[in-house]
């Protein structure tokens, strides 16, 4: 009899816990849904959306989606500048780190973390995370496009050839995974970056390609409008190179 009562008590406690958990999840989902609106772009910065994500994330800190979308919206706001940009970067970094901790093999989360690290002034760590994003998502256009943008923008501002090499790797993957959409956007961004490069982009592109035929072909496509002669130089180098040459 005593054992039966103990079992019944245990089952009652367990049922109560499950019921409380269900109420908590439903509450979190309700907060989350209030922020979604009617768009199919979950990272779009609609009125009330960030607040909904962050409230849901505070109630369920283990949920990957809330952290990732909060980081993306915070980064978008930070990119616009303004008085709150530094705070947005700090919060975005916290959210991105939590998203990666929840899903360490997610390529998009890694690319978002790379953006947040770069805006935090941690360029080496940003490049490491961007490289991981490419390795984790070799056929994920969203992650590849984000890495291409990060690499090109950083090269354009700082002249860092290591970031240009990262962009070339992302560009080569995009040519295979999504040439019509993300790939086209990356090419347009690259063409603008090459056209603005003081003294010409050819030397940096040659250095970044490191003798790799795939990178050289991507570089040639990017340079064709701004410097057709330089693009020919890159294509000639690609013809002489072998895939897998030392980089």
Q: What is the pLDDT of residue 3?
A: 53
Domain count, the chain: 2
- Given a contact cutoff of 8 angstroms between Cβ atoms, the answer to whether 217 and 238 are in contact is yes
pLDDT band at 214 (very low <50, low <70, confident <90, very high): very high
Q: Is residue 186 part of a domain?
A: yes
Question: To which H or E segment does residue 200 belong?
Answer: none
The structure's pTM equals 0.78
Rounded Cα distance between 229 and 223, Å, is: 9
Residue 98 belongs to a domain:
yes
Q: Does residue 111 fall inside a structural domain?
A: no
Residue 202 pLDDT > 70: yes
Q: Residue 163 domain-assigned?
A: yes
Residue 191, token pair as written in the block: 């063409």
SS3 content of the chain, % helix, strand, coil (to 5): 75, 0, 25
The residue that leads in pLDDT, 198 or 225, is 225
pLDDT of 62: 87
Q: pLDDT-based confidence at 180, cuts 50/70/90?
A: confident
Domain that holds residue 86: 1-104
pLDDT per position as a tens digit, 9-56: 444 444 444 444 443 444 444 544 544 444 457 888 889 999 999 999
- pLDDT at res. 36: 47
Q: Are residues 246 and 143 in the same domain?
A: yes
What pLDDT score does 4 carry? Answer: 56
Q: How far is CA 158 from CA 151, 155, 162, 218, in A?
A: 10, 5, 11, 21
């Amino acid at each position: 009899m005593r054992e039966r009562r103990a079992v019944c008590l245990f089952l009652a406690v367990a049922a109560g816990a499950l019921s409380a958990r269900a109420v908590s999840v439903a509450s979190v989902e309700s907060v989350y849904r209030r922020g979604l609106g009617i768009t199919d772009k979950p990272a779009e910065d609609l009125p009330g959306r960030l607040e909904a994500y962050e409230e849901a994330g505070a109630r369920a800190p283990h949920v990957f989606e809330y952290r990732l979308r909060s980081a993306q919206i915070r980064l978008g706001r930070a990119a616009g500048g303004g008085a709150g940009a530094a705070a947005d970067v700090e919060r975005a970094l916290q959210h991105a780190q939590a998203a990666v901790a929840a899903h360490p093999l997610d390529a998009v989360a890694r690319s978002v973390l790379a953006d947040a690290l770069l805006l935090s002034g941690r360029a080496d760590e940003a490049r490491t995370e961007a490289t991981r994003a490419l390795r984790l998502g070799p056929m994920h256009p969203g992650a590849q496009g984000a890495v291409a943008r990060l690499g090109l923008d950083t090269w354009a501002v700082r002249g860092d050839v290591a970031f240009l090499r990262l962009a070339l790797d992302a560009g080569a993957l995009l040519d295979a995974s999504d040439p019509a959409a993300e790939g086209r956007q990356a090419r347009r961004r690259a063409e603008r970056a090459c056209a603005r490069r003081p003294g010409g982009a050819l030397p940096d592109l040659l250095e970044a390609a490191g003798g790799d035929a795939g990178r050289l072909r991507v570089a040639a496509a990017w340079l064709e409008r701004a410097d057709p002669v330089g693009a020919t130089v890159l294509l000639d180098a690609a013809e002489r190179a072998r895939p897998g040459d030392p980089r």
